[in-house]
């Protein structure tokens, strides 16, 4: 399960970016996950809880909030951006096939909320 490695990377990123006093105040970690990111949200949540329980007890009160990012493409023919339904990569306006992905591959920390003292 690669979600464990991803969660470990999230904590490493936070430890590298936040001062120690802010790390101790982390209440919520917001994550954007694209539908093409090869990440299962439920497995990510379970991995988050497992890593906190075994490796990161300082984050025991933190929660992980996952926002799923839909797949969007840009049409090479009409230039319109449209959503992808049922993994059918065709323009929603002119039905032209497209492999120009605009969103849906994200896997990023979009925000961190800290507890107030």
Task: Report pLDDT for 80.
Answer: 98
List, in sequence order, the alpha helices (H) in the chain: 3-17, 20-23, 41-54
Task: Report pLDDT for 116.
Answer: 85
User: Could you tell me the CA-to-CA distances from 103 to 34, 52, 57, 93 in Å, in that order?
Assistant: 7, 30, 34, 18
Q: Which residues pair with 74 in a beta bridge?
A: 81
Enumerate residue ranges in the chain where pLDDT < 70: 1, 117
Task: Report pLDDT for 117.
Answer: 66
- The model's pLDDT over 39-66, given as tens digits with 9 standing for 90+, comes to 999 999 999 999 999 999 999 999 999 9
Domains of the chain by range and CATH? 3-114 (3.30.2320.80)
pTM of this prediction? 0.89
Residue 14 near residue 28, CB atoms below 8 Å:
no
């Amino acid at each position: 399960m690669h979600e464990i490695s991803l969660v470990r990377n999230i904590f490493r990123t936070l430890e590298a970016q936040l001062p120690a006093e802010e790390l101790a105040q982390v209440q919520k970690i917001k994550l954007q996950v694209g539908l093409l990111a090869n990440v299962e949200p439920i497995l990510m949540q379970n991995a988050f809880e497992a890593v906190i329980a075994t490796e990161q007890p300082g984050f025991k009160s933190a929660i992980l909030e996952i926002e799923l990012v839909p797949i969007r493409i840009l049409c090479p023919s009409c230039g319109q951006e449209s959503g992808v339904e049922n993994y059918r990569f065709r323009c929603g306006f002119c039905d032209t096939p497209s492999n120009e992905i605009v969103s849906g591959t994200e896997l990023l920390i979009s925000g961190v909320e800290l507890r107030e003292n």
